[in-house]
């Protein structure tokens, strides 16, 4: 039942218990923490699988959709050194950045755009209709998610 804190589990799937004894947490060399399932358990975490597939070069932006539902979109961004997510807006959606790795320069507002360097872990709110973008001015890859609610049309 959606919204009631319950979900149906297929007969062939293992039930996942979210306790540190069952799900381990590993700190990777790049400073990110990932949660992984114990032996024989189904992993609920979508981040680790997608993050491994993103490897942007200089000036490149790579993305993956982690969650796409009727009411929310969570998109993973990996920005290579010197890359930019051009300023844009979502008239009908609130957008929240969760900075997971590195330091991203966040641009927000009209005209010259307000700029702020946000280091991991960091959270940035972009209200509906507010122009926003992101830029990587560092020599390392920057990783963040953008959560949009409701799902943009």
Same domain, 78 and 132: yes
DSSP string, 26-38: EE-TTS-EEEEEP
Structural domain span for residue 40: 1-45
Total domains in the chain come to: 2
Residue 53 lies in a domain: no
pLDDT tens digit at each of 153 positions of the chain: 333 333 333 333 333 323 233 334 444 555 554 544 444 444 677 787 777 789 999 999 999 999 988 899 999 999 999 999 999 999 999 999 999 999 999 999 876 678 999 999 999 999 999 999 999 999 999 999 999 998 877
SS3 state at 93: coil
DSSP classification of residue 49: H
Residue 50 lies in a domain: no
Same domain, 38 and 63: no
Same domain, 68 and 20: no
Q: Which residues contact 29 (CB under 8 A, 6 or more apart)?
A: none
Same domain, 36 and 64: no
């Amino acid at each position: 039942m959606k919204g009631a804190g319950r979900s149906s589990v297929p007969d062939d799937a293992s039930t996942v218990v979210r306790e540190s004894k069952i799900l381990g947490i590993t700190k990777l060399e790049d400073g990110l923490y990932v949660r992984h399932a114990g032996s024989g358990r189904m992993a609920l975490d979508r981040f680790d699988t997608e993050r491994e597939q993103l490897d942007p070069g200089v000036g490149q932006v790579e993305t993956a959709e982690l969650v796409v539902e009727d009411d929310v979109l969570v998109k993973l961004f990996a920005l290579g050194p010197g890359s930019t997510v051009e300023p844009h807006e979502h008239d009908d959606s609130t957008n929240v950045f969760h900075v997971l790795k590195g330091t991203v320069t966040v641009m927000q507002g009209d005209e010259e755009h307000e700029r702020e360097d946000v280091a991991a872990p960091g959270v940035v709110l972009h209200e509906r209709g507010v122009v926003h973008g992101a830029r990587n001015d560092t020599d390392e890859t920057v990783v963040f998610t953008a959560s949009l609610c409701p799902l943009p049309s």
